[in-house]
Every structure is written in structure tokens, then in C-alpha cells.
Structure 1
Amino acid sequence: MNKHLVFLFIFLAGINSATGADGIVVVANIKNKTMQLTRQEVRNLFMGGAIPYQLKAIALPANNRTRVFFNTKVVGLTESRVQSYWAQMRFTGRKKPPKEIKSEKLLLGYLIDNEGAVGYLPASTPLPASLSVLYTSN
């Protein structure tokens, strides 16, 4: 039994450090460097809801740990619930999911090159001055 507890502890510690235990930042390439978003506005942006800004959400792929952490902590849904939601939206033709970029590094490059693009990254990611942090989650 103790062997199982030790394994569980090591497993959970590994997940915690690999999924963004340092938090998530939602960053954007925008001119207004003072803009901040609430958690609900971030959720709406990434789930296709209405927000009062001209921003384009960019996501990581479904198998990415940062995305799973973001969906759980910020959006408030499990990855499977998010996938189900987008499947329904695509089927009914109502909304399109955010564009997906394969990795955090490529996402950062995309954000730098595309004005109005918004994405999420681990809080420990070094950010260039051209990007603005819109929301931070621990």
C-alpha cells in the first residue's frame, strides 16, 4: 500500500509541474497595453462567446498539457467537455473553434506576428515587450 502512495505522490507532483503549476497567462498582440480581461471574458473569447473587443483566440492542440490546465482552471471545463462543445458547434454550424497552433513556442511566434491574436501560455514563459498580459491564473 505504501508503495502505491509513493507512486501516486510522484505522479501527482509530476503532473503539477508539467501542467502549469506556475499558472497561465493569457497574452495578446494589441496596441492597448493596459487592457485587462476578466476570467469570464477570457472564457467567452475561447468558447466563441461575445466580448466587446476585436480579438482572435488561438489555442494549443487538445493533447497539450497547457491547454488542459487552461481549460480546467480558466474555462472551467474538462478537455472532453470542451471537445464535445466544439463538436456540437461545428455540427450545427453555429461557431468555429479557435485556430490551433502545435506548441507553446509556435504559439508565441504566431502571437508576435499577428495583431489582435490572443493565446495562453505557462506563466513562466518569457514574453517580449510587444505582447500584453490580459489575464493571469494561478
Structure 2
Amino acid sequence: MKKHSLILLASLLASPMALAEVVVIGHTSGPDSITQNQVRDIYLNRSQQLPDGQKARPFELPEGNSARSEFHDKVTGRNDAQLKAFWSQQVFTGRGQPPVEQGNAAAMKATVASTPGSIGYLDAADVDGTVKVILTP
């Protein structure tokens, strides 16, 4: 019985439903692709430009959101506490402001769709024709 429970648990963890696939999205007028390093640099205030030269306007989902956790785990390598400390320092020293937070996936998609130069991230299942996928980290 124990063996069957372990096999069931392993198959659930390995299934596509276990983890959402996070993708980086952009405005339809923006670049068709971007590198993971470029996205990291935008989200960590090291760069303010998209590959096509447009000013980058990054958007963020709220703390505790699973897509946010997966995005930052894969792209910036930082968790919520590390991001909070990083942005506190950036703001305190006058180096920058954190990405504007969107309340949920629908708000993220609508904001990126209506803001030229914008960049965000969503679960791949939430993407439609209003935005384009520019990176699958």
C-alpha cells in the first residue's frame, strides 16, 4: 500500500497540473522575444530597456501569488523576502521603484495589453491574443 501511495504522489507531482508554466508576456507592439538575462535585469532594476529599445515597464503580481513565486524562482532567483529587502534598499537610496503591482492575472494581462513597452508574466493558460509570449523561462 505504501508503494502505491508513493507512486501516486510521484505521478501527481510530475503531472503538468502540479506546476503552472509561467511565461513572460509583452505588449503586442514590443519585441517578439527577450532573453532570461534581459528579463532578470529589468526586474532587478539593472536595465530599463527592452531589446527593441523601448523603455521597459515591468509589472508584478502580488506577494504570495504562485505565478510570481515561480517567475522569480526561475528568472531572478529571489524569493518574496529577498525581493522586499532589495526594493527597500533601491527605494531608500533613490535608485528606483519596484514594478507596479497588479492584483491578479486578469489585471496583469489587461495592463500589459494596454501599455506599450510593458512586460509581465502569467501562467501560460491565462495568455490570449491581447498579449504575446516573449519568453518561456
Q: TM-score, normalised by structure 2?
A: 0.78
Among 28, 31, 34, the residue aligned to 2:29: 31
The one-letter amino acid paired with 1:41 is Q
C-alpha displacement of 1:108: 0.7
| Of 43, 48, 70, the match for 2:40 | 43
Residue 57 of structure 1 aligns to a residue whose secondary structure is strand
Paired residue secondary structure (2:116): coil
Q: Report the counterpart of residue 82 of structure 2 in structure 1.
A: 81
Residue 94 of structure 1: aligned partner = 95
Provide the alpha-carbon RMSD of the alignment: 2.3
Structure 2 SS opposite 1:86: helix
Cα gap change, 1:99 to 1:51, in 2 (>3 Å): closer
Give 1:132 deviation, angstroms: 2.0
User: Does the 8 A contact of 1:89 with 1:95 survive in 2?
Assistant: yes
Residue 38 of structure 1 deviates from its aligned partner by 0.9
2:59 is equivalent to residue 58 of structure 1: yes
Aligned counterparts of 1:51 and 1:35: Cα–Cα separation in 2: 17
Q: What are the ranges of 5 or more consecutive residues in structure 2 without an aligned counterpart?
A: none
8 Å contact from structure 2 (residues 109, 127) kept in 1: no
Distance 2:88 2:60 in 1: 16
Report the Cα offset of residue 104 of structure 1.
0.5
Tell me if structure 1 keeps the 8 A contact 2:49–2:56.
no
Q: Does 1:69 align with 2:67?
A: no
Q: Return the alpha-carbon distance in structure 2 between the equivalents of residues 113 and 69 of structure 1.
A: 24
Q: Which amino acid aligns with 1:24?
A: V
| 2:135 aligned partner | 135
CA contact (8 A) 2:109 2:131 kept: no
What TM-score do you get using the length of structure 1 for normalisation? Answer: 0.78
Q: What residue is the counterpart of 1:110 in the other structure?
A: 111
**Structure 1 stretches of 4+ moved >2 Å:** none
Using the TM superposition, give the Cα deviation of residue 60 of structure 1 relative to its aligned residue in structure 2, in angstroms. 0.5
> How many Å separate the matches in 2 of 1:45 and 1:64?
20
Q: How many residues align?
A: 125
Deviations 1:21-71 (A, max 9, x none): 242111111424x53111110001111111542220011111211111111
